[in-house]
Amino acid sequence: MTPAPVALLLSLMSFLALLSGCGDSTDTGMAVQNRPVTTSLKPASDSRLAEGIRDAATGKSEKLSGFYLLDDGLSAFVARAVLIEESTVSLDLKYYIYEDDSVGRLLTSLLLKAADRGVRVRLLVDDLGTRVVNPWILALDRHPNMQIRVFNPVEGRSGVKRALEQAANLGRINHRMHNKLLVADGLAMITGGRNIADGYFSKSSVEFLDVDVLAIGEVLPQSGQIFDSYWNSLVSVQVSELLIADDDAHTLEELRKRTKKLLKDEEGSEFTRALEQSRMAAELSSGKIPFNWGEAKLLADPPQKALGEDNIPREAYPGFQLEEIIRDTEERLNISSAYFIPGVIGADLFTGLEKRGVSVGILTNSLSSNDVAIVHGAYARYRKRLLRGDVDLWELRTVAGEERRKKWFRGDSKATLHAKTFVMDRDLGFVGSINLDGRSLLQNTEIGLLMENAEINQQLHELFGEWVAPDSAWAVKLSDSGKLEWHAEDEDGKAIVEHKDPETTLWQRILSWLLSWLPIESQI
């Protein structure tokens, strides 16, 4: 954990760097001649997965897509593992964070096994979210059926050189690929908020409350086109072009031995038990997954956004498209957003909806569950404005979901909200990677699935209700004197009222307040 004075200094340095950053916005600093253009393969047609999806779609219009929510970490892990194991033609993945931990190693092992049986695997990761320094990655990339690319990298892999290159190219690298997408055989996809790391799948000292959606049907060609546009982008660099240490020991055969040992070591772990006990593979292959059907659109920023190009129309940004849909909301709007900085425009939008009779509820992180003090400081400026406009506001408690986690994993863990969901009226739902802050809307590239279906809408509404329950979240209110109060309940259902940000130290509150004065709202 970074000492508080150092954290403040780093934030100030970042601010100064942002002010002075003037790096070339189009030059990645690396040649592009070794980046062959590849596109999505034709979907599988004679596999168990293909047969199961055909059965699930029997009687459904070709214009519709099927949706299945993955609202707990273990189910989300199992779904990814099953799709990888059932694939026979292609696997395309892109993630902001892909960690070298239990989940990352397990899924990578399954990807290697898929490549060994002839599946083409393309993996795209972000350079900031995923530090690509492990020399075993080069062994993976040398597999004839595997390709790994890094989005918007600097050439230096570590140390002073990397820091200097980041400073010199800040105008470009300030734009990150925040996407999360897995496409299997061109038949099924998973998107949502989860990265590939233990904390997103319920195994960590900090668990991220999150949600994904498994989708099939008409939306799948959209996912392939979007992946291809990122994969073939100017700023997607083959991992072999980066300066990663390599030696003769890092061979594919040695990697296969390591993979076999890893899978053996993981026998009996929570993840392998969940996969063994799951019926998802059988249900997918038999068409028995209870998909809900409706029209859908996969919203994604163009990868050119990472180049800071000014000629991209606002209408191409998912954030703008969501804003237009939200403005037309007539009855209810529930939003969960890990980072929430509405700005004046957003605050006016939400309070204006309330004036029109729309019930607006927003869940974000509390100061104690937030991992970025400067974000909380910026958000805190708008709390009273929203509450005066009758917007319902909740902040996640660190104990949220604790009992559910203990059913599988030993030890305590702290909860933090990572989900980005929207419930609009009675028939629209959105699950994706988009936070309501300047960084998501203006800087990063994002993705998410807009679904028109009453059942999915209701499931997301009920999930939101669980997250904002008194044992899971603080209801933020204004007292009669106009001061902030936080309301919740203890384990026995007894009311708790706090008059300052709960579960925080004086220094945390001071730091958040100090950082809130930095004029960099669009960057966070």
> 439-469 as b/e, with b when 16 or more CB fall inside 10 Å?
bbbebbbbbbbbbbbebbbebbbebbeebbe
CA dist 83 and 77 (Å) reads 10
Burial (CB < 10 A; 0-12, 13-18, 19+), residue 154, is buried
Sign of the alpha-carbon dihedral angle for 157, 133, 439, 385: negative
The three-state secondary structure class of 172 is: helix
Contact 485, 461 (CB under 8 A): no
Helices (H), 392-437: 402-406
**Residues annotated as catalytic (active site), given as ranges:** 178, 180, 185, 418, 420, 425
The tokens of 252 are what? 């594919």
The answer to whether 38 and 122 are in contact (CB under 8 A) is: yes
Residue partners of 508: CB distance under 8 A and separation at least 6: 4, 367, 368, 373, 501
Note whether 116 and 75 are within 8 A (CB): no
- The tokens describing 34, both together, are 């070794």
**Residue 493 neighbours by CB distance under 10 Å:** 8
Tokens of residue 403, six digits: 């009992």
How far apart (Å, rounded) are the C-alpha atoms in residues 301 and 296? Answer: 16
CA distances from 115 to 43, 183, 216, 295 (A): 16, 15, 23, 33
Rg (CA), the chain: 23
Residue 209: closest CA among 394, 49, 353: 394
**What are the two backbone dihedrals, phi and then psi, of residue 97, each rounded to the nearest 5 degrees?**
-120, 130
CA-based nearest residue to 192, from 200, 184, 363: 200
Q: Around Cβ 356, how many Cβ atoms within 10 Å? A: 10
Q: How many CB atoms lie within 10 A of CB 428?
A: 22
Interatomic CA distance for residues 211 and 209, integer angstroms: 7
Q: Which candidate, 297, 385, 301, 379, places its Cα nearest to that of 338?
A: 379
- Provide the token pair at 16: 């100064």
Contacts of 357 (CB under 8 A, 6+ apart): none
